[in-house]
Amino acid sequence: MKLRAGGHSIEITHADKVLFPKGKITKEELARYYAKVARLMIPLIKDRPISMKRYPKGIKQGGFFQKNAPETLPSFVKTTSVSRKEKGAARMILCNNVATLIWLANQNCIAPHIWLSRIDKPDIPDRLIFDLDPPARKGISAVIEGALILRQFLEKELKLKAFVNTTGSRGVHVMVPIKREYGFKEVRAFAKAAAEELTSRHPKLFTHEVRKNKRGGKIYLDIMRNGYGQTVVAPFAVRPKEGAPIALPLSWSQLKKLSSADAFTLRSFSMRTNPWAGMNRAVHSLKPALKNLHKM
């Protein structure tokens, strides 16, 4: 079968292949979902290198990350060369149009992951992320409480704008758009200091302890994704779990009503407006926030 987008015809090979066994969700369903969500998703992932989380035999057989683009690509798929931390460079895909998003689905890429920087300044992030990772026995109410406390801290005390999305797993991500002023090292240091300050204020709720066996049943404020070459799951991406949950951007009022972090799925998705639509215009400088944080 073929899907059309932007004047291009994208063939979906083995369209009836089941990627999610329990719900019998096929590759065609995955491709049609991404075609439907593209108008909301692409403005948030455009010009960011993509790592493909691919599952050629479905989620039960395990998947793998692919950073390098295939040698042969359709004309509508754009790529960029980025320096590796170790040596050399990687040729990575950019998802700047609907056709590319559908093509990614045809590559059995269930979950695209994106950089926190854009290709014109790959060393300078324009977003920072806090990943609220709860222990297995913590319910969603604790995660919601933690995210709301984090938002209050970021917006009221540090004068930054915070956005939230489900992860499609157990936690939530809080994303902060920032001016491109500092490198990843400085941005991660800021995020680490903010996490430590919040943990000191709410020691029964939060921890910044990396080791799981040392977290004491608390929510881990993970800031380690704030690094060069690190990726985060793209907003609106499908996660490789039964039921095909999605990483869905929410308004803060929607977060308060959330029943679980994997409540929204490929089949249940329905959204006319994007709560993150204003993210690219909501950037703030970290300079005042750094000064305020150092005073605490």
The domain in which residue 134 lies consists of 120-295
What would the two tokens of residue 69 be?
Answer: 């683009």
Percentage, residues of the chain above pLDDT 70: 100
Q: pTM of whole model > 0.75?
A: yes
What pLDDT does 10 receive? 98
Segment 146-174 shows an average pLDDT of 96
Q: Convert the pLDDT of each residue in 99-135 to its tens digit.
A: 999 999 999 999 999 999 999 999 999 999 999 988 8
Does 206 lie in the same domain as 88?
no
Of all helices (H) and strands (E), which one includes residue 37?
helix 27-45
What is the band of 169 on the pLDDT scale with cuts at 50, 70, 90? confident
Where among 115, 149, 174 does a domain terminate? Answer: 115
**How many Cβ atoms are within 10 Å of 120's Cβ, its own excluded?**
9
Q: Convert the pLDDT of each residue in 129-140 to its tens digit.
A: 999 988 877 778
- Least confidently predicted of 47-56, 57-66, 67-76, 78-87: 78-87
- Contact (Cβ atoms closer than 8 angstroms) between residue 168 and residue 260: no
- Contact (Cβ atoms closer than 8 angstroms) between residue 245 and residue 223: no
Strand-strand pairing, 127-133 and 163-166: unpaired
Does 246 lie in the same domain as 183?
yes
Does 58 lie in the same domain as 184?
no
What pLDDT does 212 receive? 80
Does 69 lie in the same domain as 133?
no
Does 17 lie in the same domain as 104?
yes
Does 199 lie in the same domain as 177?
yes
Does 153 lie in the same domain as 32?
no
Does 127 lie in the same domain as 19?
no
What is the band of 38 on the pLDDT scale with cuts at 50, 70, 90? very high
Tell me the C-alpha to C-alpha distance, in Å, between residue 247 and each of 168, 254, 261. Answer: 5, 14, 8
What pLDDT does 36 receive? 96
What would the two tokens of residue 147 be?
Answer: 């995210």
Q: Is the pLDDT of residue 216 over 90?
A: no
Segment 57-81 shows an average pLDDT of 96
What pLDDT does 44 receive? 97
Where among 66, 90, 115 does a domain terminate? Answer: 115
Count CA atoms within 13 Å of residue 185 on its CB side: 0
What pLDDT does 157 receive? 97
Does 36 lie in the same domain as 145?
no
Does 137 lie in the same domain as 92?
no
Where among 82, 115, 148 does a domain terminate? Answer: 115
CATH of the domain at 235: 3.90.920.10
| Mean pLDDT score across all residues of the chain | 95
The beta strand positions in the chain, using DSSP E, are: 2-5, 8-11, 18-20, 25-26, 49-54, 64-66, 78-83, 89-94, 109-115, 127-133, 163-166, 172-177, 206-207, 219-222, 231-233, 249-250
What is the band of 162 on the pLDDT scale with cuts at 50, 70, 90? very high
Does 256 lie in the same domain as 138?
yes
Does 182 lie in the same domain as 281?
yes
What pLDDT does 86 receive? 73
Domain count along the chain: 2
